[in-house]
Structure 1
């Protein structure tokens, strides 16, 4: 009988411990879910403001106000379209995009002019690229190359020295190629979608 108790005690202890920590984690998740959602919304708002070259580096309150004052959101086919307006005039459209990076999925936003002739900016919201190498796609030096980038066919060509419109990240050529391919694949689909849904200010 004593032997059974010795075996049963650790089993019961582990069950009680597991139940306790499960309830604890559930409580923490419930208590912080609203804060997490707010922070995730701020990440998106900052990203959208960035691709439109608007200041998204202020306080949370400043970012929320600027986003509310300048950006309209429409949803078409379960897709968010961010519309930047200044004095009731459309200055650009931004879209979610995603694609395969070197180590995982890269997601972000890309903005285009109302006439679909230029990329206004690009930003990456999440990725799994190596810090210090492919992770440098977050750096301004790389992202700034997309500012007011005229769209052509193909949209993105690496190596400015040989006539391209984008320089690869030193030491992270594969990630640079992945971003190139991602943009080149997403842009035609985004333009087609935008035209079909009426997000186009051109002839």
Structure 2
């Protein structure tokens, strides 16, 4: 009886050990690939901010273009990206972060080297409602930010939703709070970035 009672316990212990080893191996074997894909995704998004195309969506192609054109530096615990072409600085990308409706919205904003124009906007992460606030990730919305003039701004309102006076971007219908969150985080972090850079010159 003791033997029959111990057998299933030993069997379950062995199966658990084998299962744990298999999971550990799978996690180890895929960790590098996952890290590579995550890195390529971030690089692709930074390239999008600067409107830089890649030959394909393959990680190696993305990495090659990124390394040719983009430099990064850490300033005040934030990563700032610099776009260079033939050795000449074309612009910068800085992080813009703020609360959305359901969580933190993390984005990068591109700005020309003379701080006169928005080069682009890309969202690194966001948890807004799919079909509503989540539409900030759609290309039509993000593309509106390219070319926004920063030279004639009142009260640091770089992004203004139409039909307000001076409006330069269309908000997302049915997602007023998310739209306001995006304009707020872009305007505040844009002002801080420009002010910090000009103050350091």
Report the TM-score when normalising by structure 2: 0.83
Matched, 1:32 2:35: no
Matched, 1:187 2:190: yes
Q: Which runs of 5+ in 1 are unaligned?
A: 199-203
Bigger mean CA offset, 25-34 vs 147-156: 25-34
1:46–1:57 contact (8 Å) kept in structure 2 = no
Cα distance in 2 for partners of 1:57, 1:100 equals 35
Cα distance in 2 for partners of 1:16, 1:195 equals 65
Cα deviation for residue 22 of structure 1 reads 4.6
1:93–1:113 contact (8 Å) kept in structure 2 = yes
1:125 matched residue in structure 2? 124
Cα deviation for residue 27 of structure 1 reads 2.8
CA deviation string 1:26-77 (max 9, x = no partner): 3322221111111111111111111111114723232222111111122223
CA 1:16–1:192: 2 relative to 1, 3 Å: farther
CA 1:18–1:197: 2 relative to 1, 3 Å: farther
Cα deviation for residue 78 of structure 1 reads 2.9
1:100 matched residue in structure 2? 99
Give the CA RMSD over aligned residues.
2.6
Q: Match of 1:164, SS?
A: coil
CA 1:66–1:85: 2 relative to 1, 3 Å: same
Q: Which runs of 5+ in 2 are unaligned?
A: none
The equivalent position to 1:172 in structure 2, one of 153, 165, 175, is 175
Cα distance in 2 for partners of 1:52, 1:157 equals 21
Cα deviation for residue 138 of structure 1 reads 1.1
1:47–1:56 contact (8 Å) kept in structure 2 = no
Cα distance in 2 for partners of 1:159, 1:20 equals 61
Cα distance in 2 for partners of 1:197, 1:28 equals 49
Cα distance in 2 for partners of 1:100, 1:127 equals 9
Paired residue total: 195
Report the TM-score when normalising by structure 1: 0.82
Cα deviation for residue 20 of structure 1 reads 5.2
